[in-house]
Amino acid sequence: MSERFFWWTDEQKEILKRVGKFADDHFEEAEYYFWKKKFPWPLVKKVAKEGYFGVGIPKKYGGMELGATGSCIVAEQLGRLYALGHVFVVSMLAGLEQLLKYGTEEQRLQWLPKIARGEQLGAVCITEPFAGSDAANVFTTATKDGDEWIINGKKRYITGAGVSDRYFFYAKTSDDPSIRKEYGHITSFLIEKGTPGFSLERINPLIGFDNVPNGYIDFEDVRIPDENRVGPVGKGWDVMMSGLNFERLIAGAVYVGTIHDILKILFNYTKRRVQFGRTTNRFPGIQNGIAELIAKYRMGRLFSYNCAKQLDDGKEPMVDASIAKMIITEYIRETGEKAIQIMGGDGLTRFYPVERVLREGKTGEIVAGTNEVQKMIIYRFSAMLPAYNESIRLKWNDELNVPLISNKDSQFKGMDLNEENILKVIAHDYKVNPGLYMTPDDVREDIGGSRSTIRKIFESLEEKKLIVTHRDRQGKIALVKGTYDGLKKAFSKEYYQWFPDWYDDVDKF
C-alpha cells in the first residue's frame, strides 16, 4: 500500500485504500486486454460502477468531491492498469474544470453527473494538424448561424477518439488580427458523438498508450446549439488555461503508481535471478539502480501531492504543475530504461510489463504539453517571481581587497548626481564585475538620486562614447557599461589592478 500523506482527509485516505485494492484486483484483467489489443470496456464499466470518474466532481453534481488530491489518488492507481488511467484522465479533462469555472449552472447539471457516473467517456480536443505546442493556432472554425454554430475543421492526437461520447473542443470564432493578438479568437464547445457531420478520421498506431484509441476527428458543417458553448464567445483561451494546471498535474500523477509496481517487480526478479553464483540483487550496480528508482518514485509522488494540495487550497501552482508533469514523465521513462537494464533480455520481452513503461514514458514526455514547453513555463513564470529578482550585488571590500556579496551602501552613496560621479560608479563596477553590465537600478542603488536624471546622464555619457548601453525592445536603456575610454577617464590604471599575494612584483608590468 502506498503512503497516505498526513495532510489528506480521512475520505482521501479511504479512497486510496479502495482504488488501490481495485487496481491490485484488476491488474491481471488489464494485462489480458493488453494482449488482446482491445479497448478494456468491461474494466471501464467497473471503474464507472465504483464511481471513480466522479472523484473530483462536487457532491451536488453526483461526485465524491475529493478535489485534485482525490483525482491524483485515483489517477495514480488506475494508471497502474495502463489504458484505464489514460481514459480516466482525459474523461475528467474533457469538461470538469472548464464547466466548474466557466459553465452555466444548467450546463453543470447537464454534463457533470454524466461525467461522474462514467456513463459516457470524454475527450479533450485542442491539438490540430497545424496547432501543436502553439495551441492558439486553431484552424477549426465556429460560425454563428441564428441560435446555432456551424463547425468546420479537424482535431488530431485525440485520446479516446471514437470510444468517447463527449468531446470538449476549441474553435476559432474570429479572424481579426487585433483580437487574435489578445487570444480572443477562440471559443470552447462540447459536442456529442452522433452529431451529423462529426466523424472519426483516423486512429494512430502509437509507440505507447497501448489499447487507448488516439486519433483524428473531422467536423464538416456540423451544427450544434449555442447551449453547447462553454464560457463567453472569445474566451476559449481562458477556458483552456483554467484547466491546465490540473491537467498537467494529473497527466504526471497517472504514471506514479506504475513506478511503484516496477519496483516490486525488480525486487522480486533480482531475488530470483542468479548470475556468477549470486542473486543479481547482490550486485552493487543493481542495488544502486533500484535505489535511484525508489528516490524518483518518492520524490515524484511527494511533489505531485504537494501540488494537488495547493490546487485544493485554491491556488494556481503554475510552475509546480509544470514541474510535476515534467519530472514524473522523465522519471517514468528513466524507470523503463533502468528496469529493462536491470532485467537484461527479460526486460525487453513483452512477457514482463516493463518494456511498455519505457514506451509510456516517452509518450508522457509529449502529451499534455511537451516537456520543453513545461520548461518554458517553469523559466518564464519563475523569472517573474520576486524571490528570483532580489538584487544580488558584489561590492568591493577594502579591508580584504576582494569583491563580496554585500547589502552595504557603496562608497558613492549620496555623492552629487553628475556625469563624473556616474562614470565613476560604472567604472568602479568594472573592477568588481569586469564582464557585466549594470542595470540603471544598480547605478541608482550605488549613488541614489532620481531615475530620470540618471537616464539623462547615461544619454550624455553615451554620446561622449564614455559608456555603452544595451537597450530593450522599446528602445529604453536597460544596461550600461564603461567603454575603455570611460574607464581611463574615471580612474587611474592602478585602480583596476589586482594581484594575489603570491604573485611576484618582478612579474608585474
Ligand X SMILES: Cc1cc2nc3c(=O)[nH]c(=O)nc-3n(C[C@H](O)[C@H](O)[C@H](O)COP(=O)(O)OP(=O)(O)OC[C@H]3O[C@@H](n4cnc5c(N)ncnc54)[C@H](O)[C@@H]3O)c2cc1C
Q: Looking at 123-131, 283-291, 392-400, 494-502, which segment touches ligand X (CB under 6 A)? A: 123-131
Q: Which is nearer to ligand X, 139 or 412 (CB)?
A: 139
Q: Which long-range contacts (CB under 8 A, 24 or more apart) does 369-375 make?
A: 369/133, 369/244, 369/248, 369/322, 369/325, 370/133, 371/325, 371/326, 371/329, 371/330, 372/133, 373/133, 374/248, 374/322, 374/323, 374/325, 374/326, 375/322, 375/326
Task: Map grid coordinates 479533450 to a residue.
Answer: 124
Of the ranges 43-51, 257-265, 347-355, 371-379, which one interacts with ligand X (CB under 6 A)?
371-379
Selected from 16, 124, 326, 328, the binder of ligand X by CB under 6 A is 124
96 Cβ contact list (under 8 Å, min separation 6) = 56, 57, 112, 115, 243
Q: Is residue 378 near ligand X by the rule CB under 6 A?
A: no
Smallest gap from Cβ 210 to ligand X, in A, equals 11
Q: Of 254, 358, 373, 423, which one interacts with ligand X (CB under 6 A)?
A: 373
Q: By C-beta, is 96 or 490 nearer to ligand X? A: 96
Stretch that binds ligand X, among 44-52, 181-189, 361-369, 489-497 (CB under 6 A): 361-369
Residue 158 vs 323, nearer CB to ligand X: 158
Pick the closer one to ligand X by CB: 337 or 365.
Answer: 365
Is position 201 an interface residue for ligand X (rule: CB under 6 A)? no
DSSP states of 251-316: HHHTTHHHHHHHHHHHHHHHHH-EETTEEGGGSHHHHHHHHHHHHHHHHHHHHHHHHHHHHHTT--
Residues 126-185 that bind ligand X (CB under 6 A): 126-127, 132-133, 157-159
Check residue 61 for interaction with ligand X (CB under 6 A): no
- Residue 352 Cβ vs ligand X, minimum distance, rounded to whole Å: 23
**Angle value at C-alpha 454, between 450 and 457, nearest 5 degrees:** 145
Residue with Cβ nearer ligand X (265 or 373): 373
- The Cα-based distances of 290 to 273, 294, 347 in angstroms read 15, 6, 14
Q: Does 221 bind ligand X (CB under 6 A)?
A: no
Site membership for ligand X, residue 329 (CB under 6 A): no
Among residue numbers 68 through 107, which ones bind ligand X (CB under 6 A)?
Answer: 90
Using the rule CB under 6 A, which residue among 109, 136, 233, 376 binds ligand X? 376
Q: How far apart are CA 403 and CA 397, in angstroms?
A: 6
Return the sign of the alpha-carbon dihedral for residues 52, 56, 59, 64. Answer: positive
The 10 Å Cβ neighbour count of residue 132 is: 16
Q: Which of 137, 370, 382, 483 binds ligand X (CB under 6 A)?
A: 370
What does DSSP assign to residue 226?
G
198 lies in the binding site for ligand X (CB under 6 A): no
List 61, 102, 189, 209, residue binding ligand X (CB under 6 A): 209
Distances (CA, A) of 374 to 138, 311, 323, 360, 364: 20, 18, 7, 18, 12
The reply on whether position 57 binds ligand X by CB under 6 A is no
> Residue 141 or residue 370: which is nearer to ligand X going by CB?
370
Residue 133's SS3 state is coil
DSSP 8-state secondary structure symbol assigned to residue 2: P
Near ligand X by CB under 6 A, which window of 118-126, 299-307, 393-401, 473-481? 118-126
CB 269 to ligand X: min, Å: 28
Q: Cβ-closest residue to ligand X?
A: 132
Which stretch in 23-31, 34-42, 117-125, 438-446 sits in contact with ligand X by CB under 6 A? 117-125
- If binding is defined by CB under 6 A, does position 322 make contact with ligand X? no
| Closest separation in Å from C-beta 206 to ligand X | 6
- Residue 508 has phi, psi (to 5 degrees) of -85, 145
Smallest gap from Cβ 324 to ligand X, in A, equals: 16
Cα–Cα–Cα angle for 129, 333, 342, nearest 5°? 150
327 binds ligand X (CB under 6 A): no
User: 78: Cβ–Cβ under 8 A, 6 or more apart, which residues?
Assistant: 19, 23, 47, 52, 84, 85, 88, 254
Among 367, 377, 447, 487, binds ligand X (CB under 6 A): 367
Calpha distance 457→464 (Å, rounded): 11
Report the residue number, 70 or 364, with the smaller CB distance to ligand X: 364
One-letter identity of residue 61: Y
Whether 319 and 86 have beta carbons less than 8 Å apart is answered as no
Q: Which is nearer to ligand X, 373 or 423 (CB)?
A: 373
The residues binding ligand X (CB under 6 A) are 90, 123-127, 132-133, 157-159, 206, 209, 214, 363, 366-370, 372-373, 376
